[in-house]
Amino acid sequence: MGSLGAILKHPVDIYPLLKLKMAAKHAEKQIPPEPHWAFCYSMLCRVSRSFALVIQQLDTELRNAVCIFYLVLRALDTVEDDTSIPTDVKVPILIAFHRHIYDHDWHFSCGTKEYKVLMDQFHNVSNAFLELGKGYQEAIEDITKRMGAGMAKFILKEVESIDDYDEYCHYVAGLVGLGLSKLFHASGLEDLAPDSLSNSMGLFLQKTNIIRDYLEDINEIPKSRMFWPREIWSKYVNKLEDLKYEENSVKAVQCLNDMVTNALIHMDDCLKYLSELRDPAIFRFCAIPQIMAIGTLALCHNNVNVFRGVVKMRRGLTAQVIHQTKTMDDVYGAFFDFSCMLKSKVDNSDPNAIKTLSRLEAAQKTCRESGALNKRKSYIIRNEPKYNSFLIVLLFIILSIIFAYLSANRSSY
């Protein structure tokens, strides 16, 4: 659950948090009995709890394919991210990774914590992959091959221009969007989406992660990971790592806002992609991460704390998004709400203010023209009711009873 302070400040989060906790327990009980599938779904819960929750919405056949697709690409990403692996070892592994997924015995020890477990026992993922339908296997192999080659290219090349940045993000995330669209199509549940829209879905998420994770990436040991394009950051500092120093705070925030503005260009494509989905489960699976992305960008914009620590949506708000995102109306409402939040933070003296506002207003226009904003009440940005001390005490009593009930039920299984 969320922290006590956050719950007191946002009591409206309590019900969604409880729902999220119960959904997480349900997901744990859905783990298949076969050892290799049990490993895959258990690992999915460990490397991405939120993804593991959303994936449970999918039909079993498609869920299995998406689970393996995610783990294969997570393993590939683990190889790329491990800065301790020498380049002459890393590059051939990345290029050949699409062949390793057919090998029952292949594994490669790298990464840390749960990612090391994934790599050490990768044969379980391969065994599950080989049980998927041929259409799913071909889609996963194709994307893995293209992504591995792209990652290898950027091991040997820095991200200099904005075109480089878009190309890198295409390889590591845009291809994920293309792959998922192929899996949805192979399932027979969706038409094949245009590559440009699928690519934007991935780029919007990846650029958000790159912005949010600046400090973690720049402080990576033994070698920094640098994904912000020189074409942007060189306008503000001499070296990318200079952004983290307090004396450069003004320039750092201006650079950050430039990066956020660059990411906003993908909003309209994301809204179009989501509006064309037919299957409700696939829709939720795709929509929730996109709302989380625009919410994260709203928090990061003009926020110097990106260079001091971790900036992310509070768990209660995440729970609200997961709980309430069911239709395209909800997506339009959330994008409108978070774009309003971001717009309120734009400093007119910022070098990118005009461009930022233009992109936000374009997305807001799309949301307004959908007609959805007239049908529903905003559920993310609002004045929350004030609670007196008696209600807060009562709230904790009720919460304690609920937790006691849940604990008793858990111990009876």
Active-site residue list:
168, 212, 225, 285
d(CA 135, CA 178): 14
Asked if residue 325 lies in contact with residue 331, where contact means CB atoms within 8 angstroms, the answer is yes
Dihedral (C-alpha) 122, 177, 213, 228: value to the nearest 10 degrees?
Answer: 120
What residue has token string 């992660």?
A: 209
Measured distance CA(189)–CA(62) in Å, rounded: 10
CA pair distance 7, 319, nearest whole angstrom: 12
Q: How far apart are CA 187 and CA 218, in angstroms?
A: 40
> CA 277: distance to chain centroid?
19
Closest C-alpha to 139, from 195, 179, 79:
179
Decide: 380 and 325 in contact? Cβ < 8 Å: no
The answer to whether 272 and 312 have CB atoms below 8 angstroms apart is no
**At what angle are helices 113-120 and 35-47 packed, to 10 degrees?**
160
Give residue for tokens 């040997």: 156
H-assigned helices in 156-302: 162-169, 175-186, 195-212, 214-218, 230-233, 249-264, 267-275, 280-300
